[in-house]
Amino acid sequence: MLYFSKLRIITVFLFSLIFILIASSNLFKFDNKFLDKKINLGLDLQGGSYLLLEIDNTPVIEQKLQNLTTIIRNYFKKKDIRIKNLKLLDQQLLFSVDENLKQTIIDEFNSQESDLNPYYPRFKKHQLDIIEKDDIFYVSFSDQGIINLKTSSQDQALEIVRRRIDEIGTNEPNILKRGNDRILVELPGLDDPMRIKSLLGKTANLTFRFVTNNQEDSFGTEKLQYSDSTDEAIVSKRIILSGDNLLDAQPRMNSETNETIVSFTLDRVGAKRFGKATSTGIGKQLAIVLDGKIISAPIIRDTIASGSGQISGGFTFQSATDLALLLRSGALPAPMNIIEERTVGPDLGQDSIDAGMIALAIGFILVIIFIFIKYKIFGLITNITLVINLFLLIGILTIFEATLTLPGIAGIILTVGMAVDANVLIFERIKEELKNEKNNLIAFDSGYTKSRTAILDANITTLLAAIILFFMGSGPIKGFSLTLGIGIFTTLFSVYFIARLLTVLYVFKNKDKERLI
């Protein structure tokens, strides 16, 4: 147990030295790419913004049901069933049929093979519910259908939020799901939270539609307001083009008018539609509508077949940049509301770092003094091991460029305590062995061997708790459990390799002394 080969000694030394160098990269600048890594500070340490967004799925439900009206009408038309008075009201589709066809309608909706109501084998439930009351059928989303819709909407919103934040270049954002209709966004080091709130709060639903004076347009009309004034215009509900057809959007300066614009490029399908619309609509106004407001409504002078165009609307360069970003990242499937917001200033974050470091330093110094007084030279060995253990822990966090939070610092402090506990168990066991064994080598060997079970039991149970906290907990708890879990491994390595190696070197050199500890 006490024997160390030269190869093992060199391996332990090099391993420790490598991690000390890696950990030092947080304090010093290295030209080496492998060593040029740092631990990232979390929101509570470097300041930033915390936003909890809630997705408003009401428009999504209504849109899905609106789309379903065409599907229902066409589906039953193929079966020679006439649907009467089909309309959307209060998130339900209402319609009626002849008396002799009522059971046929119900059977079609409840059929597992029907394309009208998709079947989910995993849940054994349909997406839609249908009931009949007073000769009228009411179609709405089932509970399972609502869950599926919310999950899909949340997944899509999460990806678009991530794209928007990545476009801005925020360092180490933390974007997570909460429930099935909320998204948590943590942005460490953010210096402009109002801009982020503005970008995340916009749906960015872009459409191109013709301005019309015909109130009886076959597609229907609606009155929309201009984004920069109180003026209104009547536009057709027919969508010529949507943001889904955009390939790219960039802010530009118009050299002729010295005006900031947003230039865009369309995909092949969009270019074809745009070319056809502009060729048949010369002389008409084409309204560019973003989130229900008209940005601009230029008059079409000529056919635009190139698949590119520009949007003007009195933009500043910042607003044009943000609009281009929104268009590139895509429209959110539903509006999102900020229901909780917290901002941590850099000063408060620095206070948290200072407090954590002071707590670590005080605890560390008290432990060092106590261990040195209690075990003399072996206390010194323990203290050296503690320092190396911290370097090992910080080195591993640095390799993965982990994000350190205030609870993470608490996990590091706890690691120091656990490392001392393991050494105390060993040395106390050695003292017990020395009472019955005069040979120092045998007593030290027995002390390490017989204390191993207790040390492993304590660390394994703590590791299990850390694993459960990591998978069941949220952000701060994960940070605590991560540093604690890594600290357990570095503690065991430092106790059974580094501390034991230093102990062996001293014991072999002083094996003939009557009392070593």
- Out of 97-106, 327-336, 340-349, least confident range: 340-349
Question: Is residue 322 in some structural domain?
Answer: yes
Write the CATH number for 14.
Answer: 1.20.1640.10
Span 183-229, pLDDT tens digits: 998 887 776 677 788 888 788 888 889 998 776 666 778 899 988 78
Q: Phi and psi dihedrals of 402, rounded to 5? A: -70, 160
Say yes or no: 362 and 500 in one domain: yes
Instruction: Quote the domain boundaries for residue 74.
Output: 58-146
447 in the same domain as 433: yes
Q: Answer yes or no: is 255 within a domain.
A: yes
Last residue of a domain, one of 324, 340, 356: 340
Q: Are residues 227 and 281 in the same domain?
A: yes
Residues 255 and 329 in one domain: yes
Decide if 517 is inside a domain: no
Burial 430-450 (b: 16+ CB within 10 A, else e): beebbeebeebeebbbbbbee
Residues 437 and 475 grouped into a single domain? yes
Q: How confident is the model at residue 468 (pLDDT cuts 50, 70, 90)?
A: very high
* Distant-in-sequence, close-in-space partners of 374: CB < 8 Å, separation ≥ 6: none
144 SS3 class = helix
Q: What is the pLDDT of residues 248-285, one digit of tens each?
A: 889 988 877 788 888 889 888 889 988 998 898 888 99
User: What H or E segment, with its residue span, contains residue 129?
Assistant: strand 128-133
What six digits make up the tokens of 109? 């909706």
Whether 165 is in a domain gets the answer yes
Q: Are strands 403-404 and 336-344 parallel, antiparallel or unpaired?
A: unpaired
Buried b (16+ CB within 10 A) or exposed e, 158-188: bebbeebbebbebebbebeeeebbbbbbbbb
Statement: residue 67 has pLDDT above 80:
no
First vs last C-alpha separation in the chain: 18
- Pair 367, 416: CB distance under 8 Å: yes
Per-residue confidence at 245, pLDDT binned at 50, 70, 90?
Answer: confident
Least confident of 83-87, 323-327, 344-348, 464-468: 344-348
Q: Which of 126-135, 185-194, 374-383, 505-514 has the lowest mean pLDDT?
A: 185-194
User: Tokens 């009411």 sit at which residue?
Assistant: 138
CATH of the domain at 288: 3.30.1360.200
> Is residue 492 predicted with pLDDT exceeding 90?
yes
Cβ proximity of 83 and 95 under 8 Å: yes
Tokens of 259: 């005006």
Do 496 and 354 fall within a single domain? yes
Instruction: Please check whether residues 290 and 351 belong to one and the same domain.
Output: no
- Structure-block tokens of residue 516: 């070593």
pLDDT above 50: residue 123: no
Q: Tell me the DSSP string of 409-457.
A: HHHHHHHHHHHHHHHHHHHHHHHHHHHH---HHHHHHHHHHHHHHHHHH
97 and 112: one domain? yes
| Pair (336, 411) in one structural domain | no
User: What residue type is assigned to position 75 of the chain?
Assistant: Y
Total domains in the chain come to 4
Q: Is residue 300 part of a domain?
A: yes
Average of per-residue pLDDT across 406-425: 86
112 domain residue, yes or no:
yes
Are both 186 and 257 inside the same structural domain? Answer: no
For the stretch 3-38, pLDDT in tens is 788 888 899 999 999 999 888 888 877 776 667 788
pLDDT at 121 over 60: no
Q: Which two tokens stand for residue 192?
A: 């402009």
Average pLDDT, the chain: 84
Q: Are residues 299 and 165 in the same domain?
A: no
* pLDDT category of residue 381 using cuts at 50, 70 and 90: very high
Q: Does one domain contain both 350 and 495?
A: yes
Q: Is residue 436 part of a domain?
A: yes
Region 447-452 average pLDDT: 91
pLDDT score for 237:
83
Reduced to 3 states (helix: H, G, I; strand: E, B; else coil), residue 338 is strand
